[in-house]
Amino acid sequence: MPNPFALNTSQQDDVSVITLEGFVDAHTAPQFENAIQQAVDAGRIRIVVNCEKLNYISSAGLGVFMSFIEEVRERGGDIKICGLVPKVKHTFEILGFQDIFEMLDDQPTAVRNFQAA
């Protein structure tokens, strides 16, 4: 069953939430990259990427997380990942993302996690 790519951004207090849906590959990853870039450019460096509806990601999408995390942390922010379904989480884990990124169960937990910091 096709599950096309979709991306939504929203703001929850001072946390930017980027919701990914469907299929993130080299064709669609630039849209994800633009969304994070826009948040970072606007100084919104507390970012949650909601992956509840993400059912596929390749290294092109994973590379987007990697390309921003250092800058965001240097500026006092973070990128947290939430809602990964097991098969997609496995892809993140093969590349050791669990050692770099906080992975939380759902969006409320991820947002709360920022606010508690």
- Which residues of this protein are in contact with other proteins, per CB under 8 A? 2, 4-5, 23, 25-27, 56, 58-60, 62-63, 66-67, 69-70, 73, 87, 91, 94-96, 100
Q: Do residues 88 and 61 touch, judged by C-beta distance below 8 A?
A: no
Which helix (H) or strand (E) is 88 found in, with range?
A: helix 86-94
Residue type, 21: E
Q: In terms of CB distance, is 13 or 87 closer to other proteins?
A: 87
The CB-of-66 to other proteins minimum distance in angstroms stands at 5
* Cα dihedral value 39, 43, 48, 54, nearest 10: 10
The CB-of-82 to other proteins minimum distance in angstroms stands at 20
